[in-house]
Amino acid sequence: MSKTYSITDLSREFDITTRTIRFYEDEGLLAPRREGQKRIYSPRDRVLLKLILRGKRLGFTLAESRKLFEMYDPASGNRQQLQTMLDTLDDKEALLDQQLNDIHIMKIELQEARERCVAAMHGINHSSAEE
């Protein structure tokens, strides 16, 4: 018999709330077996949860993660799934590059605003001293 996990086991292992796990279940990403009110998670559920959390760290939406899970097809060598993953990673990287550029521009604009404020303050201080 393969190892099973309770919702508490998984929440502790991945340092997330049980509510988060139930949310992923409600979204159809996890499908634990039930024994009355008790959820019994399989090793597959555990791996899916790990992949969901990893995808989240990479900036994947739940819809993107779901799409990748649905494409899982070991018979084909998962070629389509892997290509979709590569395309998604390229999109995420392009977005990060754009955000980095935006941050760089914003830092320049902040520095320019700071310089204008300092110059204005010096103008105020000089005119006050002359009076």
77: its two tokens: 């060598």
pTM recorded for the entire structure: 0.70
Residue 121 has pLDDT above 70, yes or no: yes
Taking only the tens place, the pLDDT of each residue in 61-82 is 999 988 888 887 777 788 888 8
Contact 29, 62 (CB under 8 A): yes
Percentage of the residues of the chain whose pLDDT score is greater than 90: 68
Taking only the tens place, the pLDDT of each residue in 83-96 is 988 999 999 999 99
Name the phi and psi angles at 3, rounded to 5: -65, 145
pLDDT the model gives residue 131: 59
pLDDT the model gives residue 42: 93
Q: Which residue has the higher pLDDT, 108 or 80?
A: 108
Residue 100 has pLDDT above 80, yes or no: yes
Mean pLDDT of 92-102: 96
pLDDT the model gives residue 74: 74
Distance between CA atoms of 23 and 16, rounded to whole angstroms? Answer: 11
Residue 48 has pLDDT above 70, yes or no: yes
Residue 129 has pLDDT above 60, yes or no: no
Please name the amino acid found at residue 104: H
